[in-house]
Structure 1
Amino acid sequence: MANTTTKETTALATLYELAGMLTERIDEGISAYQDLAPMTEKDTALFLVALTMHHHQVETEVRDLVQDAFGITPNFPEIEAAFEDVTNNIRTHRANFTPLDMDDQDKAWVRGILLSSPVITSLIYGGHVKVPITNLHNTDPSPQGALVRYTQQLVDACQFNERDLKLIDYEMWEMGAYASERFDSLLRMIDRHDPHLPLHPFAQPDPRLQRWIDNNAPELHMFNPQMQQTMLIAVLGRGMLAAVDPNCGGVNITEYARACLKDSAHYATAIVDMLPVTMHDDEAPIAYMDNAIAYLGSHEAARAMGIDKDAVMTELHELCHVPATASAATLPRDNWAARVILGVQRADIWELDDEPLSPMGRMILRKSLARETRQY
């Protein structure tokens, strides 16, 4: 900073505050990997400018300040050039990173990079700016770290409590009455073909199961008929309402299903157990994320994750490839299908709005997620 003019120092100090260095979140998770800090006053100014941007726009006040102090226009090419090393580093973890439209976590990482930069360090030691008063974070930027972080943030946003871990009487009655209306006829139809519903050979869909799907879950028609039937039987199996005999492939209802047909309150536990759908422990966070997003809706999920609402489903889709299991990539599809079969899903697959679930869906999913995410 020895050659820095008073005008440049004043401009940097102003940008330092406008960029939220004093009050916003600072995360050193990226700077811990390698030295990515800007080395010159000009590049430091461009880093700070990027932190002030909103909706791809540099404020007039900021642009004029940089032009007057450094003689450059802080346009998109200038900012992207200054960020080249940082962009290349972050994109090894997040392919869609751009300094022109950073989310809250991106900005926190950039503040962490700036905090250890020589120019900002000189400003602090010279008494030109104050030391940040926020707590420092160290967030793993890898996809594995993002999966853990987003899952925790979404679960925290749901604000589960001890009461959510229990089913009380009125909830059992409400859920039971709902499930009875939806599943009684299906279970009785299966039971009439005692001991097993004789599914057609060569993986042909059963017309009786197909009729139920056509009448109650037509959203599944985007899948082939055999997939629709497989999804239905899998959901009934998760609720311990039906099972497949491995010897003949036929479907039969369970003793628990018969208890539900006699007293609908028994259904409550069954339908709570139908979600989230997951195959392996290490891919469970994908299912938790998907269902928490459905529970919260687009705005609340985006707020919890610190990203734009249009990026929520994109992030989920990208993170499906983190667990080393083949089934992880299909978990959002399978959980969406399970909610459709339950009759509680409003939004189309891979789409999200503020109320993607029915009120009954929110009641069921709150109980399901609270139980499954207790470790969070």
Structure 2
Amino acid sequence: MANTTTKETAALATLYDLAGMPTELIDEGIADSFELSPLTDKDTALFLAAVTMHHHQIDTQVRDIIRDAFGFTPNFPTIEKAFQEVTEVLRAYRADFTPLYMNEQDKAWVRGILLSSPVVTSLIYGGHVQVPITEVTNTNPSSSATLKRYTQLLVDACDFTEHDLHVCQNEMWEIGAYASERFDGLLRMIDRDEPHLPLHPYGQPDPRLARWIDNNAPELRMFNPQMQQTMLVAVLGRAYLASVDPRCGGVELTDYARACLADSLHYAPGILDMLPVTMHEDEASIAYMDNLIAYLGQSEAARAMGVPRDTVMHELHELCHVPETASAATLPRDNWAARAVLGIQRTDIWELDDEPLSPMGHMILRKSLANATRAYWDNGYAGGPDPLVVEMD
């Protein structure tokens, strides 16, 4: 700031306020984690300009301030050039990062970089700008930290309570009646071929299971017939309704399924255990995040995550590589398929709207997610999910 003119200082002070430095979220996670080159006065102006951008546009007032004080008009190339080092850092964690379209967390990180820069430090100590009165956070920029942060934000948006861990008698009747109407016929068909439903060899799908899928879960038709059948049998297995004999690959009913056929009230625990679908504890956050997004809907999920509405699922898919498991990448597909088999998913796998679930799906998923994500929302709890409390009279 030693060679900064009065006009430049005044311009930077105005940009400082427009960028929300005194009151908006500041995160020093990037500034503290990496050795970044000191920002020049012009770089500082461009960083502040980027934070003020809305809808991929540089505000006219910001353009005029920088042009009058520094003698050049800010544009996309000049902003991208100033951000080159920061962009390289952030793209190691989020491949699509661009300073031209930052989410709220990106902007918070940039404010953190600005706060620790020599130019802004001189503005503050010189009394030219107000000292930030907002809480300064320090968020780890790694992908694993991002996955945990998004999951926590989505859980917070659901506002789960202890009540959601309990399934009352009326809810059990509702779930049981719904599941009975949907699955009784399928289970009885499997049971007629006791001891096993003889699946065809060489990967040929059973025509009876294929017929059920066509009539009840047509969304699965985007997959090949063998994959459709595999998805259906996997969901039945997760709900404890059927099992596969490893000796022959045939499908058979469980004793629990027969109890459900005798009294639909028994369906509730198995149905609530269908979701979220996850194979390993290390990848559970991917399954949680996928189902939390489905529960909240696209707009509410975007608000919770602090990202544009049309990038919600992209953010999820970008994070599927974080868990070091072979199945993590397919978890969004598998959870969507489970919701389709259950009959609660209103949208296809590539689309998401603000009401992707049926009312029954909304109730089932809230109960399931409250239990699965309890460690995220119950500060007094430590450990994995406990069984849902089913209130039987």
TM bucket, shorter chain: over 0.9
Correspondence for 1:361: 361
Q: How far is 1:223 from its partner?
A: 1.0
Among all aligned residue pairs of Structure 1 and Structure 2, give the percentage whose two residues are the same amino acid: 75
Q: Determine whether 1:180 maps to 2:177.
A: no
* Residue-by-residue CA offset, 1:290-332 (whole Å, 9 max, x unaligned): 0000000010000111100111111111111111111100000
Counterparts of residues 25-64 of structure 1 (less than 5 Å): 25-36=25-36, 38-64=38-64
Q: Aligned equivalents of 1:129 and 1:317: distance in 2?
A: 41
Counterparts of residues 272-287 of structure 1 (less than 5 Å): 272-287=272-287
In structure 1, stretches of 5+ residues that fail to align are none
Q: How far is 1:44 from its partner?
A: 0.6
Q: 1:320 is paired with a residue of what secondary structure?
A: helix
Q: Aligned equivalents of 1:292 and 1:271: distance in 2?
A: 17
| 8 Å contact from structure 1 (residues 221, 228) kept in 2 | yes
**Counterpart residue type for residue 95 of structure 1:** A
Correspondence for 1:19: 19
* Residue-by-residue CA offset, 1:348-372 (whole Å, 9 max, x unaligned): 1032110111111111100111111
Q: Aligned equivalents of 1:34 and 1:319: distance in 2?
A: 22
Correspondence for 2:239: 239
| 8 Å contact from structure 1 (residues 38, 82) kept in 2 | no
Correspondence for 1:336: 336
**Counterpart residue type for residue 129 of structure 1:** V
Q: Aligned equivalents of 1:190 and 1:169: distance in 2?
A: 29
Q: Determine whether 1:65 maps to 2:65.
A: yes
Counterparts of residues 175-324 of structure 1 (less than 5 Å): 175-324=175-324
Correspondence for 1:167: 167
Correspondence for 2:78: 78
**Counterpart residue type for residue 316 of structure 2:** L
Q: How far is 1:144 from its partner?
A: 1.1
**Counterpart residue type for residue 252 of structure 1:** E
Question: Structure 1 runs of 4+ off > 6 angstroms?
Answer: none
Q: 1:243 is paired with a residue of what secondary structure?
A: strand
**Counterpart residue type for residue 202 of structure 1:** Y
Q: How far is 1:42 from its partner?
A: 1.2
Q: How far is 1:37 from its partner?
A: 5.4
Give me the CA root mean square deviation: 1.0
Q: Aligned equivalents of 2:363 and 2:80: distance in 1?
A: 46
Q: 1:330 is paired with a residue of what secondary structure?
A: helix
Q: Aligned equivalents of 1:337 and 1:23: distance in 2?
A: 44
Q: Aligned equivalents of 2:39 and 2:228: distance in 1?
A: 58
**Counterpart residue type for residue 183 of structure 1:** F
Q: 2:327 is paired with a residue of what secondary structure?
A: helix
Q: How far is 1:203 from its partner?
A: 2.3
Q: How far is 1:56 from its partner?
A: 1.5
Q: Aligned equivalents of 1:245 and 1:57: distance in 2?
A: 60
**Counterpart residue type for residue 60 of structure 2:** T
Using structure 2 for the length normalisation, give the TM-score.
0.94
Check 1:37–1:24 CA distance in 2 against 1; reply closer, same or farther (3 A cut): farther
Q: How far is 1:34 from its partner?
A: 2.2
